[in-house]
Amino acid sequence: MTLTIKIGTLNDSDQSAVHNGTENGSDFRKITPTEEEICDDVVLLWKEEPGTEDATIQHLSDRITERNQSWKLSASRFRKILNEHHLYDTDLETVSLYKDKIHFPKALDSDAKVEVKFIDDEHGRGLFAKRDFSKGQIILKENKPIVYIPPLDKLFFISNGKACARCGKALYDLTQHKIMVHYLDCEVCKAIWCSEKCKKAHASLHELLYHSWRSNRIDILHAGNWKRFVNYCEKYCFTAAFSVGLIYGSMLLDTTGEVKEQWQKLASISQRERIKLRDASGIGSTFSLLNGTTVHTEEESDNGTKKGVEKNIDDETVWEKCYELFCGAFPKASEEIDFEKFLTMIGTFNINQYNGQVYHWISFINHDCEPNAYIEQVEEHEELRLHARKPIKKEEQIRITYVNPLHGVRLRRRELRVNWGFLCQCDRCRNELSTFERVPNLEKKNADANLGVEKIDSNDSSEDGSKKSTGNRKSSMREAQPDLKEILKNGKEFELDIPETVDTQGNVRKTSVRFDSNVSVAVDER
């Protein structure tokens, strides 16, 4: 199966109305975008139209200008920014990495099917098969993460009893009768759990975090300060800090020491080291949004009166305030966790998390762009199953992909570099990079022959009037993708990744096929 990405114009509106500094016949001023805005939109374009990763800088500049007609952006400035941010490098060996700063504990583990082995100082540890596995066979199951972490964006609904206090599942189908019969609500606050399973697993942590005064636990946690800490994490979308707070609270409750032991087995890195590779604001960029390092703004106030004037808040300020609130929530935390260790806990969560959760076995699995295994999420944000994507031999290392395998080599390597600190050297990356090495002059007009994008509009023609040729990336990963026709025919649910955009007021929204001009369509070509 071959998938071709086609870009089609959906709007009825005439896009030609905007040109030469006029919109709908009225004059408007063009704005000069920041470097972060330009980087964000380039990466966002690559995600929406994967073939543009192979385009020349000139073609890329034209597409960015076409997408942002209110921007005042010269080709020379565009080229300079892309070079400075290593967005157009084919030789990424010269850019910064932080893999050598990641600490890998010597602690290993094994069971009947798999075992964790230390590879070397550069690659750390890996998960290896202890027996043969056939294609599609389940390698292992993880029933639950180390600590369950509800989605940060659902805390509002959780606090108002509209979503499960543990998993964040909407409670629209939960009747009051069922709540009363099974005692699914909290006696003190509005918290409600979706099932007895969730309540049993979460009740003690909920009691500690929000009602510590009832169990005389105020010496280890101040519920009021915990609420302030959570509110701050919500304000700045600091998922990692919120997760660290839940994990630390679980450590305090765990009399067996299992949670702390599993946490200490994880590879660790300071968030301070990770942030050095951030090159954009986080909206559309390759840097994971879980880190809480988007551009921060807040209103200045005078004597309690808001002035309506916004100022930028740097990451260091957010981190310091977050640590202060963390120590306020856990009075004894400062005795064992200083500011730098707090940042290390945040970085540790970010490089080990899978869909916002940290799992024991999954955290040991290394990356490959052509992996031999894949993860199936059986229960939302909880049970995981690791399947063999191809036959796996005994003693063979088990690998998954950390990034979208349908992305091109530039975007894949970039995501891996900024989020996990290493430069992928797998066979697939080397093979795809060799295509760039065979084109020494990246500004050659015939380089556009490798675009892999077919545009459905009248601008597809080149300057000489001829039709631009297209090509398709080939990867066996495409074979692992579901047949869209079968999915639709059988009425199965599937997830469509819709990119986010930012309007002129800074509001984030999902791309809409009704109100945006282009939509990406995966076409099955056989």
State the DSSP string of 61-95.
HHHHHHH-TTB---HHHHHHHHHHTTSS-S-GGGS
| Distance in angstroms (rounded) separating the CA atoms of residues 100 and 98 | 5
Buried b (16+ CB within 10 A) or exposed e, 103-126: ebeeeeeeeeebbbeeeeeeebbb
Domain ranges across the chain: 2-95+425-497, 99-144+358-400
Q: Please give the chain's pLDDT, 526 residues, in tens.
A: 444 444 444 444 444 444 444 444 444 688 999 888 888 888 888 888 877 877 788 888 999 999 999 999 998 999 888 877 777 665 555 677 888 899 999 888 888 899 999 998 878 899 999 999 999 999 999 988 999 999 888 999 998 889 999 888 888 888 888 888 888 999 889 899 999 989 998 888 998 888 877 767 778 889 889 999 999 999 988 999 999 999 999 999 898 999 999 999 999 999 999 988 776 656 566 776 555 554 455 555 555 555 554 455 678 899 999 999 999 999 999 999 999 999 999 999 999 999 889 999 999 999 999 999 999 988 665 789 999 999 999 999 999 999 988 888 888 888 898 889 888 989 999 898 887 655 444 444 444 444 333 333 333 333 344 433 333 333 444 334 444 444 444 444 444 444 455 444 445 444 444 334 444 444 444 4
pLDDT tens digits for range 156-182: 999 888 999 988 888 888 888 888 888
Q: Is the dihedral of CA 118, 123, 127, 130 positive or negative?
A: negative
Closest C-alpha among 341, 345, 355, 228 to residue 289: 355
CB atoms inside a 10 Å sphere around CB 233: 24
> Does pTM top 0.85 for this prediction?
no
> 272 — phi, psi (to 5°)?
-65, -35
Q: Is 29 exposed, middle or buried (0-12, 13-18, 19+ CB in 10 A)?
A: exposed
3-state secondary structure of 496: coil
pLDDT tens digits for range 469-520: 333 333 444 334 444 444 444 444 444 444 455 444 445 444 444 334 444 4
CB atoms inside a 10 Å sphere around CB 479: 9
Buried b (16+ CB within 10 A) or exposed e, 271-292: bbbbbebbbbbbbbbbbbebbb
Q: In the chain, what percentage of residues exceed pLDDT 70? A: 68
| Distance in angstroms (rounded) separating the CA atoms of residues 138 and 382 | 17
Q: Give me the half-sphere count of Cα atoms (radius 13 Å) on the Cβ side of residue 128.
A: 14
- Cα angle 106, 108, 112; round to 5: 170
**CATH number belonging to the domain at 99-144+358-400, selected among 3.30.930.10, 2.170.270.10, 3.40.50.300, 1.50.10.10:** 2.170.270.10
Buried b (16+ CB within 10 A) or exposed e, 452-464: bbbbeeeeeeeee
Residue the block writes with tokens 């969730």 = 198
Q: Is 496 exposed, middle or buried (0-12, 13-18, 19+ CB in 10 A)?
A: exposed
Which amino acid, 124? Answer: G
| Distance in angstroms (rounded) separating the CA atoms of residues 33 and 77 | 11
pLDDT tens digits for range 242-291: 999 999 999 998 989 999 999 999 999 999 999 887 766 565 667 765 55
CB atoms inside a 10 Å sphere around CB 156: 11
Q: Give me the half-sphere count of Cα atoms (radius 13 Å) on the Cβ side of residue 270.
A: 13
Asked whether the beta carbons of 50 and 497 are under 8 A apart, the reply is: no
Closest C-alpha among 55, 50, 47 to residue 88: 55
